[in-house]
């Protein structure tokens, strides 16, 4: 590990020098590329240098203990040695995590899909609660949001909503949210006061760039139709709604939120690109299925991951056995404790796999 860290530190120093050169700064494309590499290496190199400092301090403390006779100074040296050993052990653990293979999608924007599941109108209302929860979390993180497509129930719940969430590291934070989210509460539609269980599904896809996935001519069939509102009523008489079909995979995406056909097609293409890339990646990683099952979650939207229990005011994540009695705060977008616990659990599983 030390050899690898030393090589990374040398690379970091080279990049530090390179990004300060006038000729590199003048070439913005090259400068931005080097700046990203520099930023990616910085947490590892800073932790490594702190780790080296802790090791050096241990050596100094040991030398002092070997030479010093004064009881008070020896006590101080022993205390310092113990502190530096603890610090070095913590930094070593941190460095192992930092050196884990990074998910190539972690820095990407997110296509977030929410759909009502079992439970009728109550499932749609719960899907709306989840959309507000993620929207509030995104606001707290300073991320930009855009609704790409939406469909609502008669009571104002969500049948289906697709959102684009733009922000550095959005996928790294939200990627474990894919799966079935279950709610237990007395529905607004229930007059007898009985607790019902309903569900909604969430899918989190990394936004795919055009350079990552180029559609071949003839791969996409485009159908145009008139947008419709609740109950099938006509919203406009022009064919502004767009349906895209990716012929090789059979994946279909529709968008009718905008009155402009071009904007609807642009939004539909974002979603289609993300779904096709996800399918391709799942097929490519099929051999890793067993390993993925042992981690926090496979990202399978059919996997029940979390329960929101209103009578008891609790949220339980079934994958890691985490229960928080902070339901109101979680639904207000205070997801940090849940998300950090999921990331930590995933890192622990990955460390076991490489040790």
pLDDT for position 295? 40
- CA end-to-end span of the chain: 12
The rounded distance, in Å, linking the Cα atoms of 144 and 142 is 7
Nearest to 162 by CA among 270, 236, 265: 270
Q: How many CB atoms lie within 10 A of CB 142?
A: 8
Per the CB < 8 A criterion, the answer to whether 161 and 145 are in contact is: no
At 342, list the tokens. 């999921």
Query: Which CATH code of 3.30.160.20, 3.30.420.40, 3.40.1360.10, 2.40.128.280 fits the domain covering 220-283?
Result: 3.30.160.20
In angstroms, the Cα distances linking 302 to 202, 252, 265, 272, 342 are 9, 19, 28, 20, 18
Nearest to 177 by CA among 233, 110, 124: 110
Q: What tens digit of pLDDT does each residue of 269-299 get?
A: 888 888 888 888 777 666 444 444 434 554 4
Query: Which CATH code of 1.20.58, 1.10.1660, 1.10.3470, 3.10.350 fits the domain covering 2-98?
Result: 1.20.58
Extended strands (E) in the chain: 110-116, 144-152, 158-166, 179-185, 196-206, 220-225, 241-246, 251-255, 304-309, 314-317, 322-324
Phi/psi of residue 235, nearest 5 degrees: -90, -40
Query: Which CATH code of 3.30.70.1660, 3.40.50.300, 3.40.50.620, 3.40.50.2000 fits the domain covering 110-209+287-354?
Result: 3.30.70.1660
Classify 146 as helix, strand or coil.
strand
pLDDT for position 299? 44
Q: What tens digit of pLDDT does each residue of 181-224 get?
A: 999 998 876 666 788 899 999 999 998 876 567 787 888 888 88
Per the CB < 8 A criterion, the answer to whether 159 and 95 are in contact is: no
- Listed in sequence order, the residues at least 6 apart from 314 whose beta carbon sits closer than 8 Å to its beta carbon are 323, 324, 325, 326, 327
The rounded distance, in Å, linking the Cα atoms of 80 and 77 is 5
Query: Of how many residues is the chain composed?
Result: 355
The rounded distance, in Å, linking the Cα atoms of 17 and 313 is 54
- Listed in sequence order, the residues at least 6 apart from 60 whose beta carbon sits closer than 8 Å to its beta carbon are none
**Domain locations along the chain:** 2-98, 110-209+287-354, 220-283
Q: Which residues of the chain have pLDDT under 50?
A: 230-234, 287-295, 298-299
pLDDT for position 147? 92
């Amino acid at each position: 590990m030390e050899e690898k860290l030393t090589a990374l530190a040398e690379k970091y120093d080279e990049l530090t020098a390179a990004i300060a050169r006038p000729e590199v700064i003048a070439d913005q494309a090259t400068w931005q590329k080097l700046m990203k590499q520099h930023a990616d290496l910085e947490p590892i190199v800073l932790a490594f240098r702190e780790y080296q400092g802790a090791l050096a301090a241990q050596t100094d403390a040991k030398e002092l203990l070997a030479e010093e006779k004064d009881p008070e100074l020896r006590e101080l040296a022993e205390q310092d040695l113990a502190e530096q050993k603890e610090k070095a052990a913590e930094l070593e653990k941190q460095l192992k995590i930092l050196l884990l293979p990074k998910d190539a999608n972690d820095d990407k924007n997110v296509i977030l899909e929410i759909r009502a599941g079992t439970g009728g109108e109550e499932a749609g209302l719960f899907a709306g609660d989840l959309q507000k929860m993620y929207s509030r979390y995104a606001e707290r993180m300073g991320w930009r949001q855009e609704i790409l497509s939406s469909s609502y129930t008669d009571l104002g719940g969500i049948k289906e909503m697709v959102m684009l969430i733009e922000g550095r590291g959005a996928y790294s934070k939200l990627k474990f949210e894919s799966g079935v989210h279950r709610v237990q509460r007395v529905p607004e539609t229930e007059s007898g006061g009985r607790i019902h269980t309903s569900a909604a599904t969430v899918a989190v896809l990394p936004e795919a760039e055009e350079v990552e996935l180029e559609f071949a001519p003839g791969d996409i069939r485009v159908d145009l139709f008139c947008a419709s509102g609740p109950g099938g009523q006509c919203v406009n008489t022009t064919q502004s709604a767009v349906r895209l079909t990716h012929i090789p995979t059979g994946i279909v995406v529709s968008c009718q939120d905008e009155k402009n056909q071009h904007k609807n097609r642009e939004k539909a293409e974002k979603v289609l690109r993300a779904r096709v890339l996800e399918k391709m990646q799942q097929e490519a990683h099929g051999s890793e299925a067993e390993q993925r099952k042992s981690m926090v979650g496979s990202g399978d939207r059919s996997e029940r991951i979390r329960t929101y229990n209103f009578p008891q005011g609790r949220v339980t994540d079934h994958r890691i056995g985490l229960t928080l009695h902070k339901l109101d705060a979680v639904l207000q977008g205070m997801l940090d404790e849940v998300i950090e616990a999921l990331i930590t659990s995933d890192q622990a599983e990955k460390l076991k796999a490489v040790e």
